[in-house]
A and B are shown apart, each in its own frame.
Chain A
């Protein structure tokens, strides 16, 4: 339609795109995770089944959905944290750069070393602020330049200015929001490629939440971020791509399924699936 010699009328305001929030061109992006037909069962209950999706490098991918839809179960499959639940059984494949992390001979510790995780409730170790960040690198043999490494991690987690004068103090003396940023610093101190955030702000107040969200925008330049949130506004604010999980009830069985996965704008403004629309417009969940 448009030809080169057409001049654009100057009275048309340019479209504002905050935080590069246009639909990311996923075809150009490197695939970090390729999840194929993933199903997780705990004993006789099915948590999720038939999940297929791809997670792309340097994007923030959000998992939303009602309680019990398996979004936390899903994210915990991405770094094999579900291994810690004795009754959990995982089927399907989680390809990380093409390698199945559930394949034979894969060491879950090597997986977690590359794929860091931050949990719902801040869980700093009962050690000093410094040792919380330094412990991981120290144990994993990254001892050179430890002080610089700790400072860098704390700076990246936007915590350095607040704690640099009391690094030897107990981490438990920090506020909840600071503790959570400390946990993020601890996770990035070992230089993972991916950060999994399992409802990282659900136990925090709005100011601390906003600090964490700002931080995520900075972090995505270096990391691939997957976040689980029950807060739709949070997903809309931070995520490039959003996956909507829901609970499928049928034949007396309940199971979490991936309903729709698309750019965040599409999910929130023009979803394809009726269930997604019902959820994002607040009709259920």
Chain B
């Protein structure tokens, strides 16, 4: 009674064994690919960090570049300039992007929304060098390079990212909340401002932070619009301001090894900013998930 029937085997045989093997192989391939992605990041981060190490010092963050080269000097002016430019471009792209998202998600009929979404996706795929030339053509030619021209170029880069991220979040807001508000006799716009935006706030901010991280590292738009600058610390946005991406680009082309080191240092700063932004975006997203009840 207790002996298993001879036909019943729970060990893999024949085809089962093959399936088992194929499953194992595909699983390991997938794991290897995932490890490769992590590996690439680790290699990039460590190599940048190693090369940047000699440049990193208190002075590096607090002093502007030496006017005549040589050791010493830092990138404080580029940090200030980059911050200013990114803040300005966010100030332009965020409200506009959120308004676009609100229009698509809350007001537009599907027939209107679909082409707008497509346009945003195309804009997102637009090579940033093209964005740079475009802004150069309308804001710089005949005038001078300026931080605000650079900010406009970066805002164009950010706009589709912000708008699409905000739209995705707005679509996650349960329609029951819209109904609840509209059933109180509250207008659509007040519903958007009072119920939907607060619910979607975390997700929208996540998109904004990621877009900022992306914009902070964009170089091509700034090459045309904000690359010929006085290296001193300045907050005059009507003039070209030093900024990290262009600084990395120009320093790496210089013959001076000190400047090479500083370029690596600036790259590390930029990378740290992007990493920090991604992490805070993740935290924001977790917060908003709770609010969305997911």
Are B183 and A79 in contact, CB atoms less than 8 angstroms apart? yes
CA distance A111 to B174 in the complex (A): 23
Query: Is B255 part of the binding interface, using a Cβ–Cβ cutoff of 8 Å?
Result: no
Stretch at the interface among B2-10, B46-54, B147-155, B191-199: B191-199
Closest chain A residue to B187 by CB distance? Answer: A109
Please tell me which one of the listed residues B179, B190, B198 contacts residue A84 in the complex, with CB atoms under 8 A apart: B179
CA distance A236 to B26 in the complex (A): 60
Q: Which residues of A contact B198 (CB under 8 A)?
A: 126-127
- Asked if A123 meets B174 with Cβ closer than 8 Å, knowing A81-B179, A183-B180, the reply is yes
Please tell me which one of the listed residues B182, B183, B195 contacts residue A125 in the complex, with CB atoms under 8 A apart: B195
Are A126 and B183 in contact, CB atoms less than 8 angstroms apart? no
Give the contacts of B149-196 with A (CB-CB under 8 A): 174, 176-187, 190, 194-195
Are B184 and A136 in contact, CB atoms less than 8 angstroms apart? yes
User: Least Cβ distance of A41 to chain B in Å?
Assistant: 18
Are B180 and A126 in contact, CB atoms less than 8 angstroms apart? no
Are A139 and B176 in contact, CB atoms less than 8 angstroms apart? no
A side interface size, CB within 8 A: 28
- Asked if A81 meets B182 with Cβ closer than 8 Å, knowing A86-B109, A126-B293, A172-B293, the reply is yes
User: Least Cβ distance of B286 to chain A in Å?
Assistant: 15
How many cross-chain pairs have Cβ atoms below 8 Å apart between A and B? 69
Query: Is B63 part of the binding interface, using a Cβ–Cβ cutoff of 8 Å?
Result: no
Counting contact residues on chain B (CB < 8 A from A), the size range is 20 to 34
Closest chain B residue to A136 by CB distance? Answer: B184
Query: Is B291 part of the binding interface, using a Cβ–Cβ cutoff of 8 Å?
Result: yes
Q: Which residues of A contact B195 (CB under 8 A)?
A: 125, 135
- Asked if A121 meets B180 with Cβ closer than 8 Å, knowing A109-B187, A140-B186, A172-B293, the reply is no
Stretch at the interface among A52-60, A97-105, A112-120, A151-159: A112-120
Interface hub of B180, B186, B195 (most chain A Cβ within 10 A): B180
- Asked if A109 meets B183 with Cβ closer than 8 Å, knowing A121-B176, A127-B198, the reply is no
CA distance A123 to B191 in the complex (A): 14
User: Least Cβ distance of B63 to chain A in Å?
Assistant: 47
User: Least Cβ distance of B93 to chain A in Å?
Assistant: 26
Are B177 and A125 in contact, CB atoms less than 8 angstroms apart? yes
Q: Which 10 A-B pairs have the closest CB atoms?
A: A113-B185, A123-B176, A117-B183, A112-B185, A136-B184, A123-B180, A126-B291, A109-B185, A139-B186, A139-B190
With A109-B185, A113-B185 already in contact, 9 other A-B pairs whose C-beta atoms are closer than 8 Å: A79-B183, A81-B182, A81-B183, A123-B176, A125-B177, A125-B199, A140-B185, A140-B186, A186-B184
25 pairs from A and B in contact (CB 8 Å cutoff): A81-B179, A84-B178, A84-B179, A84-B182, A111-B185, A112-B184, A113-B185, A116-B183, A117-B179, A117-B183, A119-B183, A123-B176, A123-B180, A126-B198, A126-B292, A135-B184, A135-B194, A136-B186, A139-B184, A139-B190, A140-B184, A172-B293, A186-B180, A186-B184, A190-B185
